């Protein structure tokens, strides 16, 4: 039996995706289902930033909610630019590139940077990281297993991605906690627990940037066997000659990497654990044949969680999405969460199904030049974390309601209690 599409009692004209309070309503899925069915591309006012942020209110945005339309926007990078910034709120282009590196750039600058950065993700580098994913996941479970209960997010889900990125970049363990706190501030914008003012945001960004800058300068002087060194040594050639990353570009890329690779993977793992607790049949399917089921289970976790809810583009010319006219300069926001529940693209989209095939979800983006650089690494982390958890702590369960991040950008879980009785060797 298929699971019914959820509903909402909100009238179409009362839907305001820019309103953070509405965003936190329990019928969010119903709201998006209504938009997909009745107004697939709709205009929304932007929230007024709190006065202490000192930023003017933006001009509003088009929300694209259907799978096919999100794909069109994502893949037409001539018509839909990532600069000046790929988040809904505005900021000056220089700050956006400093804070977001390549994610806020377009060709040819983006292409150049991506070519260099790809050198950090060669098979050799990735093989090195894969080994470290296994070692770190084991260590995490060893450390937490004797407790019998804990906060799942901080102890299991958050610990792995952060350590992997730090390890990959060659950062010492003693610095990981500091980096963890700074990334929380950057992605927690909008949630009062993490950030209140623009200054706090800039301070956290500056802290990460400077850390990356110092790391780059150190590796230029003292090369090592890590990705930072590989990135600093990588050269690409175009009609203007040879290019290398500057220490400043590495600083910004580091900022993007720790932010992009951390909360996202943590969010996927947390939602995954929640699903496996709520759906013991799905858990059994996976546990009974871990190797064979892992590839589809991991994709389904990412579709289900959709850790990154949206990215924005800016129209470079007058165009049409769905049946909607869009004017040059307007903001166009791709709602991946909605595309990933689109009844036109997925059979029974509200069913969590570890065996789902096909599953061409948009959790890592909807195709095009910015497709997630860390997708394979994230897949590996999710798989290995669950392999360790389900084998070593076979009765681990979520034991209470998750505390959700107040954000329309990251589908984050801040805290979620879990417990177990059995510990296997
Ligand atoms: C489950 C985990 C993850 C999710 C859901 C996720 C999601 C995304 C999405 C939606 C995008 C934008 C794609 C687009 O605009 O087409 C993106 C870009 C990116 N991601 Fe991920 N990501 C994850 C993990 C990671 C990891 C582990 C890393 C690195 C270690 C990473 C690095 C990046 C980078 C560098 C970009 C920018 C690429 C560019 O602009 O060319 N991500 N990711």
pLDDT in tens, 137-172: 999 999 999 999 999 998 999 889 988 988 888 888
Q: 201 versus 321: which is more confidently predicted?
A: 321
Q: Is 118 a pocket residue for ligand 1 (Cβ < 6 Å)?
A: no
Q: Cα dihedral angle (342, 344, 349, 355), rounded to 10 degrees?
A: -130
What average pLDDT does the structure give for the chain?
Answer: 91
Q: Is 378 a pocket residue for ligand 1 (Cβ < 6 Å)?
A: yes
Q: Is 261 a pocket residue for ligand 1 (Cβ < 6 Å)?
A: yes
Strand blocks (E) in 91-184: 149-151
Identify whether the C-beta of residue 23 lies closer than 8 Å to the C-beta of residue 53.
Answer: no
User: Distance (Å, rounded) from C-alpha 402 to C-alpha 400?
Assistant: 6
Best probe residue, ligand 1, of 100, 260, 300 (max atoms within 8 Å of C-beta):
260
Q: Is 302 a pocket residue for ligand 1 (Cβ < 6 Å)?
A: yes
Residue nearest to atom 34 of ligand 1 (CA): 373
Q: Is 120 a pocket residue for ligand 1 (Cβ < 6 Å)?
A: no
Q: Is 133 a pocket residue for ligand 1 (Cβ < 6 Å)?
A: no
Give the pLDDT confidence score for residue 25 in this predicted structure: 93
DSSP-assigned beta bridge partners for residue 312: 333
Taking the whole predicted model, whether its pTM rises above 0.85 is answered as yes
Cβ atoms within 10 Å of 114's Cβ, excluding its own: 16
181 by DSSP, 3-state: which?
Answer: helix
Q: Which atom belonging to ligand 1 lies closest to the Cα atom of 102?
A: 40
The pLDDT of residue 183 is above 70: yes
């Amino acid at each position: 039996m298929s699971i019914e599409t959820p509903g909402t009692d909100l009238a179409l004209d009362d839907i305001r995706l820019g309103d953070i309070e509405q965003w936190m309503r329990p019928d969010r899925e119903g709201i998006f289902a209504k938009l997909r069915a009745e107004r697939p591309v709709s205009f929304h006012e932007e929230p007024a930033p709190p006065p202490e942020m000192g930023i003017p209110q933006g001009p509003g945005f088009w929300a694209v909610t259907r799978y096919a339309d999100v794909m069109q926007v994502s893949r037409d990078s001539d018509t839909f630019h990532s600069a000046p910034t790929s988040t809904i709120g505005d900021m000056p282009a220089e700050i956006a590139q400093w804070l977001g590196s390549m994610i806020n750039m377009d060709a040819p600058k983006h292409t150049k940077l991506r070519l260099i950065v790809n050198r950090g993700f060669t098979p050799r580098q990735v093989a090195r990281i894969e080994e470290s994913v296994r070692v770190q996941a084991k260590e995490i479970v060893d450390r937490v297993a004797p407790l019998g209960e804990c906060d799942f997010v901080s102890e299991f889900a958050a610990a792995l991605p952060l350590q992997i990125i730090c390890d990959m970049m060659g950062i010492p363990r003693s610095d990981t906690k500091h980096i963890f706190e700074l990334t929380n501030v950057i992605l927690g914008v909008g949630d009062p627990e993490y950030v209140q003012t623009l200054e706090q945001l800039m301070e956290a960004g500056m802290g990460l940037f400077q850390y990356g800058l110092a790391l780059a300068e150190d590796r230029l002087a003292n090369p090592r066997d890590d990705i930072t060194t590989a990135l600093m040594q990588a050269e690409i050639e175009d009609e203007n000659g040879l290019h290398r990353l500057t220490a400043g570009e590495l600083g910004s890329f580091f900022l993007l990497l720790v932010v992009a690779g951390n909360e996202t993977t943590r969010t996927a793992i947390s939602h995954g654990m929640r699903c496996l607790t709520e759906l013991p049949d799905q858990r059994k399917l996976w546990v009974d044949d871990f190797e064979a089921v892992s590839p589809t289970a991991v994709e389904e976790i990412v579709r289900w969680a959709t850790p990154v809810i949206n990215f924005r583009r800016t129209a470079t010319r007058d165009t049409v999405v769905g049946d909607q006219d869009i004017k040059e300069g307007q903001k166009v926001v791709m709602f991946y969460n909605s595309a990933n529940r689109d009844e036109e693209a997925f059979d029974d989209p509200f069913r969590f199904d570890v065996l789902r095939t096909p599953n061409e979800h948009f959790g890592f983006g909807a195709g095009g030049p910015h497709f997630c650089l860390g997708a394979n690494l994230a897949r590996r982390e999710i798989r290995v974390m669950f392999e360790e958890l389900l084998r070593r702590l076979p009765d681990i369960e979520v034991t209470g309601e998750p505390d959700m991040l107040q954000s329309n950008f990251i589908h984050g879980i801040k805290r979620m209690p879990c417990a177990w009785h059995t510990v296997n060797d």
